[in-house]
Amino acid sequence: MEDQVYTDNMKRAPEEEPERQQYFMGLLRELVREKSREYGHPLTACIQTFGCQMNAKDSEKLLGILEEAGFQASDSEASDFVLYNTCTVRDNANQRVYGRLGYLNSLKQKNPRMRIALCGCMMQEPAVVERIRKSYRFVDLVFGTHNIYKLAELLYRQMTEGHMVIDIWQGTDKIVEDLPSQRKYPFKCGVNIMYGCNNFCSYCIVPYVRGRERSREPEDILRELHALAEDGVKEVMLLGQNVNSYGKTLARPMSFANLLEEAAKVPGIERIRFMTSHPKDLSDELIAVMRDCPKICRHLHLPLQSGSSRILKAMNRVYDKEQYLALAAKIQKEIPDLSLTTDIIVGFPGETEEDFQETLDVVRKVRYDSAFTFIYSKRTGTPAAAMEDQVPEPVVKDRFDRLLKEVQKISAERCKKDVGKTLDALVEGMDTHDPALVTGRLSNNIMVHFPGTGEDIGKILPVKLLESKGFYYMGERV
């Protein structure tokens, strides 16, 4: 009988999106209400996010769908529904998920009604899904990066059919708009401007798990920005794997610089950030727009990856050391108060001590405000995984330590330069260590702690920077 209801409901589902998902959110809501009555408490849902800003944004969308379907959001993994939104950029991200799954299994043994789902980048790898299917039978639902908008439909199916549901797409050309989203912060928010990546850096798995580059229509992005501003959002982060190539594939092409100018016109949006820039596509037009538009934050994340032209070539980065240095110098000259940050990989196959010295040389010349340093991680399926000359672990570790020391020394020096100045900070929350303090973010992305109360959260306030603590400041409101 129940099967019949399910089949009939499936048949009635609209073909078009987002109508189809709205339909399934309605069905799921009824089911959730029923289960809540049966269990004697409202059904709770907990999402754990691994990885980057892109995943954080996806999790907001996933939570939006779950809340719309009647789930109560919870931070505790002892929930009725637990979803891990996974990352696979380096192997340690995968290992963390496997480790945590063991813990989830122990929770599920105490509460067999619990449902466990996995989604995100790691699930786009066939070997991972095979392992889950075989060895993690307690997982109820697995989906990937291309179909997150289908959560309501997939979960409805799982809850009515009762067995493990796996739905992974190899790619998509679809962008589904207008589904709910539940923001983590009321005053700031990520906004997708494009999905996927076409760069194929030889070490990177992202193009394989996030698919080909697709830009959203500028009208859709601007409509979202207006709605966010009306809803009290002051700071947005425009998100894409390679924002500098935004708009190239649209029917009516538009440059990223142009999109930024349009975004800056949206009343109420006070600050605009973006992530991530690829040096090869960073235009003079963009530098000029950043320089001239005060709403665009004084921060540029410009991944270097390596300072050696030889390694950069093997990485398929399409720029060499000299071009990167020239670009960084041009940006620093045009926008002197900009903070420049980067990503660096140590131990790419074939990296010699000389290559590593080239990386240190760039770090010393550019003087980054901060840098994320990574040990090269072999990702199956990428060209670099098949390269000979993988660097021995102790050598990599030693280089990593030396790089980190250099990076930290320079950022501490850089952080001193603004002591004594008064800069605007967007208050993000209470200080986690001292209840008399709040924590704010400066336009250049550096944090400042200063006396304040919960009332200040979400406000942009002028703060005098009294002392540098290496990579953050202590300050006072003026």
Give the interface with ligand SF4 as residue ranges (CB under 6 A).
51-52, 54-55, 87-89, 121, 206, 209-210
Structure tokens at 467: 């002392």
Q: What is the chain's length?
A: 478
Of 193 and 296, CB closest to ligand SF4: 193
Structure tokens at 401: 């330590």
The 3-state DSSP class for residue 129 equals helix
Of 89 and 141, CB closest to ligand 5AD: 89
Of 44 and 276, CB closest to ligand SF4: 276
Is 280 an interacting residue with respect to ligand 5AD (CB under 6 A)?
no
Q: Residue 70 binds which entry of ligand SF4, ligand 5AD, none, with Cβ cut-offs from 5 to 8 Å by kind?
A: none
Report d(CA 99, CA 478) in Å as an integer.
47
Q: Residue 305 binds which entry of ligand SF4, ligand 5AD, none, with Cβ cut-offs from 5 to 8 Å by kind?
A: ligand 5AD
User: Does residue 60 contact residue 184 with C-beta atoms inside 8 Å?
Assistant: yes
321-334 and 353-366 helices, crossing angle to 10°: 10
Report d(CA 296, CA 129) in Å as an integer.
41
Task: Measure the CA dihedral 358/360/362/363, to 10°.
Answer: 170
Using CB under 6 A as the binding rule, the residues of this chain from 188 to 227 that contact ligand 5AD are: 203-204
**Least CB distance to ligand 5AD at residue 276 (A):** 7
Of 157 and 210, CB closest to ligand SF4: 210
256-264 and 284-292 helices, crossing angle to 10°: 10
- The vertex-45 CA angle with 40 and 49, nearest 5°, equals 165
Q: Residue 88 binds which entry of ligand SF4, ligand 5AD, none, with Cβ cut-offs from 5 to 8 Å by kind?
A: ligand SF4
Q: Are strands 422-430 and 472-477 parallel, antiparallel or unpaired?
A: unpaired
| Cβ atoms < 10 Å from Cβ of 197 | 22
Of 302 and 410, CB closest to ligand 5AD: 302
Total binding residues toward ligand 5AD, as defined by CB under 6 A: 12
Is 391 an interacting residue with respect to ligand 5AD (CB under 6 A)?
no
Q: Residue 345 binds which entry of ligand 5AD, ligand SF4, none, with Cβ cut-offs from 5 to 8 Å by kind?
A: ligand 5AD
Of 213 and 456, CB closest to ligand SF4: 213
Please report, as ranges, the residues that interact with ligand 5AD according to CB under 6 A: 89-90, 203-204, 303, 305, 343, 345, 374, 376-377, 379
